[in-house]
Amino acid sequence: MKIVVLVKEVPDTYAERLLNLETGLADRDANDRVLDEIGERAVEVAVSYAESHPDTEVTVLTVGPQTVPATLRKALAMGATSGFHVLDDALLGADLMLTAEALATAAERIGFDLIIAGDVSTDGNAGVIPAMLAERLGIAHATSLNSLEISDTDIGGERETYGGTITLTAALPAIVSITERLPDARFPSFKGIMAAKKKSIVTVDLADLGIDADADVPRSIIIAVSAKPARSAGIKILDEGNAGQQLADYLVQNRLV
């Protein structure tokens, strides 16, 4: 089976993330660049399937900046077979339509039976890329799965819906996205890290994929950005036996009850 996993490099959320107030784009130097945690989980799903199905090929695919190969190595060290990187200046600040076009075209180029994505990316917070790819590729989507079973011919899983849970199945080829409910990603082993050094990452640009970033299609653009003033600390008391009472008084005085 050929599995393509969509992973994204994002600013590490363990530090405050910054936006450039003129361009509205992420300040790439403000944070370490890491593989999105949900993408690591998606890699975990693919790699653990591959462990029990030896003729599985796992390609990690990403659209992102020059720093990407370093983060892709982590996925390779976890056990992915190879990487595929779409790199192009025209993708800086790309909107969802352009990103989806690039990912869909690249996935077709790689070839796949199954595409696995994260449900929502930490920086984009969009959660729409998987459905956009499904529409472009003419395949089924099964998104935000809290559980996932993969067989040779189809996938199945559960997801939340209004008022309950639904069980889904789809014939392959298909695209799925997974939630945090799936297992944590493994830590790459030393052997995995060494092996990753020899694995290949293919880099292509938009011209290679036959995509014109300036095509006459509507784009979503940022027109204004402003920073909210940071919050500051207020009163802090040490409990000396009556903090519960003091807190109750505070809530009453401030009409919060």
Partner 1 sequence: MTELAVDPVLVLLGVSPTGELATNAAELLGAAARIGTPVAVIIAGPGHGQDAATAAGARGAHRVLLAETPYVDSALTAQLVDGLVTAYERVNPSAVLIANSIEGRDVAGRFAVRTQNALAVDAIGVDRDAEGIIVHHSVYGGAYDVDSAVTFGIPVVTIREGGVEDRAAAANPTIDSLEYVQTGRTAATIVSFTPEQARSSRPALRGATRVVAGGRGVGSAEDFALVEQLADVLGAAVGASRVAVDSGYVPHSYQVGQTGVSVAPQLYIALGISGAIQHRAGMQTAKTIVAINKDPEALIFEIADFGVVGDLFTVVPQLVSALTAKKE
Ligand X SMILES: Nc1ncnc2c1ncn2[C@@H]1O[C@H](COP(=O)(O)O)[C@@H](O)[C@H]1O
Give the interface with ligand FAD as residue ranges (CB under 6 A).
13, 37, 122
Residue with Cβ nearer ligand FAD (13 or 147): 13
CA distance 77 to 194: 8
Per the listing, tokens 């393509």 go with 4
The single-letter code of the amino acid at 250 is Y
- For the CA atoms of 71, 73, 79, 80, what is the dihedral angle to 10 degrees? 80
User: Which one of residues 70, 160, 194, 200 is an interface residue with partner 1 (CB under 8 A)?
Assistant: 160
Rounded to 5 degrees, φ, ψ at 116 are: -120, 130
Distance CA 74, CA 84 (A): 13
Residue nearest to ligand FAD (CB): 37
Q: Which is nearer to ligand FAD, 184 or 212 (CB)?
A: 184
Q: Which of 240, 103, 99, 238 is nearest to 175 (CA)?
A: 103
Site residues (CB under 6 A) for ligand X, limited to 118-137: 118, 120-121, 124-130
Q: Which two tokens stand for residue 23?
A: 């361009």
Q: Which two tokens stand for residue 206?
A: 């938009």
Minimum distance, C-beta of residue 152 to partner 1, in the bound complex (Å):
17
- Can you tell me the distance from the alpha carbon of 176 to that of 225, in angstroms, rounded to the nearest whole number? 33
Instruction: Find the binder of partner 1 among 134, 178, 196, 201 (CB under 8 A).
Output: 134
> Considering only 50-58, 85-93, 205-213, 215-223, which stretch makes contact with partner 1 by CB under 8 A?
215-223
Q: Site map for partner 1, 55-94, x if CB under 8 A?
A: ----------------------------------------
Site for partner 1 contains 174 (CB under 8 A): yes
Q: Which does 99 bind (CB under 5 to 8 A by kind): ligand FAD, partner 1, ligand X, none?
A: ligand X
Q: How many C-beta neighbours within 10 Å does residue 165 have?
A: 10
- Judged by the rule CB under 6 A, the positions of this chain that interact with ligand X are 6-8, 36, 38-39, 42, 62-64, 99, 103, 117-118, 120-121, 124-130
